Structure 1
Amino acid sequence: MSDPRLAGFLRAARARLTPEQAGISDAGRRRVEGLRREEIAMLAGVSVDYYTRLEQGRSTSASPVVLDALADALQLDEVERTHLHTIARPTPARRRRPYRPQPLHPATRSLLDTFDDVLRPAFVLGRRLDVVGQNETAALLITDFDARPVDERNQVRFVFLDPHARELYADWSQVAADTAAMLRVDAGRHPDDPALGRLVGELSIHSPEFRRLWARNRVHQRTHGTKRYRHPLVGDLTITYQALVVAADPDQVLMVYDTAPDSPSAHALRLLVDRAHDHRAVARGGGRAGRRLGRPR
């Protein structure tokens, strides 16, 4: 039997595609959302019975050529196409290992601290979107993951289970949808990860929004973009971000944030860092504490 993830992904992708998008005449009433199975089979050039077996999880014979034909018929983007190939490829069962923190290479740790010097929040996401490292500026802007228990240093848990996240992200609904879709990509790559299964189970129980978004079977890979924050101390900020794969571990991604020079967002980030340092100075009895982050921009 094929992986049930393939069946769910095909059904969800078919339900999202309208006859108009597929260039199919829609005469009369339709009893299903999206396209019918026979319509996808026709567009992909496969038999209806074969496609039905794929969607019902009763076939393991999908070749790369067939998968590409299905991706074309379903109008998948590159991330979705890659995910389709990943989940359709049977993988041998592996011995389950206990949860262990993912190590951060010392060079990557040093690089994170270097970004503090230019006032750029930076952090590293690992498997399951665990936050395996962050610099001080990121901790001030988002949250101090290092202060949390090891098994709670996770971006998905933060977005869906921490009330602070709903206030912090100005576009929380979009951030939540993208985060669930990013976790879906990880689930496709590591189907035998017990820690991921526990994470999905916990989120499904405690977050109706996650449960709904997870059922959509969407996938998303973050590369670059813009994000808006509504910070409780310094107000609104808009940042741009880039995602860079860490050479020492392909399962880790370095997220680097930036703000436009001399923009209100840059000034707000500077104010946030300065306030943190002033607070520490007062707590320690006066004087600037530690090194000051961020050179003039």
Structure 2
Amino acid sequence: MDSDKFLGDFFRARREATTLDDVGLKHSGRRRTPGLRREEVAMLAGVSTDYYVRLEQGRERRPSDQVLTALARVLRLDSDATDYLYELTHPLARPHKQGKRMEQVSPGLRRLLKSWNHTPAFVIGRRLDVLATNPLTEALYKGLTHKDNCLRTIFLSPQAKDFYADWEKAACAKTAQLRIAVGANPHDPFLPRLVEELSTHSEHFRRLWARHDVRTRLSEVKRLRHDEVGELSLSWEALTVNGAPGQQLIIMSAEPGSSSEHALKALGRIAAQDAGLDSPSQPSQPSPELSSDAADHSPPVTL
């Protein structure tokens, strides 16, 4: 994975995903390749074909904001994809050693997670590694493998396609989130290794990765199938951890009075029994203030 090719590969993938109908051009016979031709993109964006070819070939990596705005319009990029495009062309100065640092979750946030007995919650890092979980999350994902990283869980766990009721949607979303992570951390040595591992073992990932879709994590509802408590429909919320750049706190909840809420309660009893504890009765109140104790050096945990 060559970071210098990101921009050209992105333009090529999005051009091939844009149709004549999308931009209001007339069809003129069969085409050997999908999407728009380079000269059509250049014409619609108001740049020369030679200049656009240089962009796709990686020989031009600093287009002006005016050109970027025009290309984003022609290629019908949404806000996430446009932000990603600008980040590729205006990278922030980052020391190369940044990617070598182990991400850590503060002790205060770990205690907060464990205090939530009725809500599955976990923390992910900038590489989509799972850095901390609470017992209810561990019980929810029990039976899956490769749970140290969200992408590895989706594509490498044999049980994932049964666990995720809409596995294709989950796979597309996670791949698009990884694309953003790679663009935001171009010098991180671990991300290319993750992409290589997933590409080696999953043809489906290779196909999705080649599309260059980008998407931030939004609030969403996911349907999951658990072997012991059945199907659950859970709302997901992603909260930024201000004290740790790149980390997000993911919280899952069920509609009050729903079958999913009853399933979560049953899962909580199972988790408590597995841990040799009494079943939870009332939700624990989170601490109003996180601790600033020394960093916890525990390795990434499971999802």
TM-score by length of 2: 0.86
Deviation at 1:30, TM superposition (A): 2.2
Structure 1 residues 2 and 195: alpha-carbon distance in aligned structure 2, compared to 1, 3 A threshold: closer
State how 1:44-123 maps to structure 2 within 5 Å.
44-89=45-90, 94-96=95-97, 99-116=100-117, 119-123=118-122
Distance 1:167 1:294 in 2: 32
Matches within 5 A, 1:29-48: 29-48=30-49
- 1:204 is aligned, of 199, 208, 219, to 199
Q: 1:218 to 1:25 in 2, by over 3 A?
A: same
Q: Is the 8 A contact 1:181 1:217 kept in 2?
A: yes
CA contact (8 A) 1:122 1:256 kept: yes
Q: Percent identity?
A: 42
Distance in 1 between residues matched to 2:123 and 2:263, nearest whole Å: 23
Q: Is the 8 A contact 1:112 1:122 kept in 2?
A: yes
Alpha-carbon displacement from aligned partner over 1:207-260 (angstroms, at most 9, x marks no partner):
111122111111111111110001111111101111111111220111111100
Q: Secondary structure at the match of 1:230?
A: strand
Q: Deviations over 1:96-119 (max 9, x none)?
A: 468443111233223323432xx1
Shift of residue 91 of structure 1? 6.0
Query: Where does residue 261 of structure 1 map in the other structure?
Result: 256
Unaligned runs of 5+ in 1: 282-288
Letter in 1 for 2:196: G
Q: Give the Cα separation in 2 of the matches to 1:275 and 1:226.
A: 23
Q: Normalising to structure 1: TM-score of the pair?
A: 0.88
More helix by share: 1
Please list every run of 5 or more consecutive structure 2 residues that lacks an aligned counterpart in the other structure.
285-303
CA contact under 8 A between 1:9 and 1:217: conserved in structure 2?
yes
- Return the alpha-carbon distance in structure 2 between the equivalents of residues 115 and 275 of structure 1: 15
Which structure has more relative contact order (CA 8 Å, sep 6+)? It is 2
1:57–1:280: structure 2 CA closer, same or farther, 3 Å change rule? closer
Corresponding residue pairs, total: 283
**Quick check: 4-13 or 30-39, which moved more?**
30-39
2:163 aligned with 1:194, yes or no? no
Correspondence for 1:176: 171
CA distance in 1, matches of 2:281, 2:236: 19
Q: After alignment, is 244-253 or 5-14 more displaced?
A: 244-253
